[in-house]
Structure 1
Amino acid sequence: MMKWRQAAAAAFQFLSRFPVNAHLDYSPALFRQSVKFYPLVGAVIGLVVWAGATGFSYLLPALPAAVLTLILWIGLTGGLHLDGWMDTADGVLSYRSREQMLDIMKDSRVGAMGVLACVLLLMLKLSLIYSLLIDGLDYSGLLLLPLIWSRWFMVHAIASWPMARGKEGLAGGNFNGLGRGQVWATFLIATVLSGVAASIIPLIYMDSSSWTVALFGLITLPLATWAAGTWMAKKLNATLGGLTGDTYGALNELLEVVALLMLVLLHNHM
């Protein structure tokens, strides 16, 4: 199998529950090569979620359709990023020393803060999905953007902030030393995928205002993702002395919600 195909397969196997039938020899080099395909994984998950939301909305009222859409969304990721969100909440919200926070995050058990953080996050995400479905998926092509750019930011975070545990753990052992070239390659892929997703709107509606909506979403969603992600990553870095695999998952969850919020604002005011 060619190297790029191995890297793409590794990205899909690691970040999703799509049945990728590939036997890979996982190594730090393969993990680092695979990150450029993270936005593609997000785009494919987003495409399936979009198709599911469209089908559910056709068959059911908006609220049960939104619940099923969220279940599908979580199922396609296997809850990988939610696990990181809960572990990060347990550690950071314990207000212990840095070492104790990192130990709490390594514990496989979920504490009260993790449960609360998960419930609140899912409530917010559900309400945002519902807000998009209640009036119809007018800007449905942009639904892919939250999943694309949240995964791009994970790559950016890996390369931009130190590892809290050094070379220990899944993140430190496999992604340590990720180069800026990989980040820029990932950014290019995310930009191309976003352009394709945003172009769905004017292709469907064929009017001048739809081009405005597409362009505005194409600019504001990535910028909001970058700004919110940078703020949170700096906070986590200051608290933990670096980032971990759990915090990358937490960042992904946070940024999906931020981008969904921007999409709802766009939907309501454009």
Structure 2
Amino acid sequence: MQRFILILQFLTRITIAKDLSYDEDFKKGIIYFPLVGLVLGGILAVAYKGLSYGLNATVASILVIALYVALTGGLHLDGLGDTFDGFYSSRPRERILEIMKDSRLGTNGVIVIVFGLLIKIFGLAEVLPSRGLTALILMPVMGRLAIVYGSYNISYARKEGLGNIFIDKITKQEIAVATLLTVLCALLDKNALFFIPILWLFSYLFKKYSKQIIGGMTGDTSGALCELTEILYILYLLVLTNIKL
């Protein structure tokens, strides 16, 4: 339980206990990433349910996504912006890594963050009334499973950094446990089960692309992978909704 709380506090701004002891095997807590997503999704679902009584779907979605950003501190959005600023700067590897580390946000970063948020807001506004709150609950779960997949069997592109805690340091057993936990969560909506292989393939291709650009993964690219996977999941649900599945 302590390790789960540590992981929850590491990935979010939710504070449960401040005096937890140091965990030498903290990296093994990566198996709890999908459960952190489930906690976030549960909070968002409750918030949306309350807001939907007095507001239309679009306004409720805007406020729920704003709450999501607040709960995570924009951690993964920051990674998304930094990754796109670096990857599409047309610079050499070392310069790309410097750009990604820069706290200032560039044009590419602003564009991808704005469009990503718009897809989430309007996608959820269309999906939730017909598919129910499971879409909102499972979106953060899928994003965090993608981080697990993105951390497996790939070099860390920097010499040091927060991402180095997990990247290339997890085992097949931990991958299996995280996947199993996600499958159990996905039982809330059988269609979500079919998204997991898509998620795995997308994570594999993203890792391959990141390795080609900067030689591996970083904390920023892990955040970007999380955000892009959540967007992909919303688009997946939109397709299913439009073809009436």
TM-score bracket, shorter-length normalisation: over 0.9
Answer with 229-238 or 40-49: which moved more: 229-238
Match for 1:61 among 51, 56, 59? Answer: 56
Q: Does 1:163 align with 2:149?
A: no
Q: Does 1:112 align with 2:107?
A: yes
CA contact (8 A) 2:156 2:167 kept: no
Q: Does 1:34 align with 2:29?
A: yes
Report the alpha carbon displacement of residue 60 of structure 1 after superposing the two structures with TM. 0.6
Long gaps (5+) in structure 1: 199-213
CA contact (8 A) 1:221 1:263 kept: no
Q: What amino acid is the match of 2:170?
A: L
Provide, for residues 110-142 of structure 1, a one-character-per-residue CA deviation record: whole Å limited to 9, x for no partner: 122211221111111112112124xx2533224
Distance 1:72 1:151 in 2: 17
Alignment RMSD, CA only? 1.8
Report the alpha carbon displacement of residue 43 of structure 1 after superposing the two structures with TM. 0.6
Q: Which residue of 1 aligns with 2:5?
A: 9
Provide, for residues 214-247 of structure 1, a one-character-per-residue CA deviation record: whole Å limited to 9, x for no partner: 32x1332222222222222211111111000000
Q: Which residue of 2 aligns with 1:220?
A: 194
Higher helix share: 1
CA contact (8 A) 1:84 1:245 kept: yes
Alignment map for 1:1-270 (pairs within 5 Å): 5-26=1-22, 29-30=25-26, 32-133=27-128, 136-166=129-159, 168-173=160-165, 175-195=167-187, 198=188, 214-215=189-190, 217-268=191-242, 269-270=244-245
Provide, for residues 177-197 of structure 1, a one-character-per-residue CA deviation record: whole Å limited to 9, x for no partner: 2222211121122222222xx
CA contact (8 A) 1:28 1:174 kept: no
Question: Larger Cα Rg: Structure 1 or Structure 2?
Answer: 1
CA contact (8 A) 2:79 2:224 kept: yes
- After the TM superposition, list the runs of 4 or more consecutive aligned residues in structure 1 that deviate by more than 6 angstroms: none
TM-score (normalised: structure 2): 0.92
- For the structure 1 residues 137 and 89, does the alpha-carbon distance in structure 2 shift closer, same or farther, using more than 3 Å as the test? same
Provide, for residues 142-164 of structure 1, a one-character-per-residue CA deviation record: whole Å limited to 9, x for no partner: 43222112211211211222111
- For the structure 1 residues 188 and 128, does the alpha-carbon distance in structure 2 shift closer, same or farther, using more than 3 Å as the test? same
Name the SS for the 2:28 alignment partner: helix
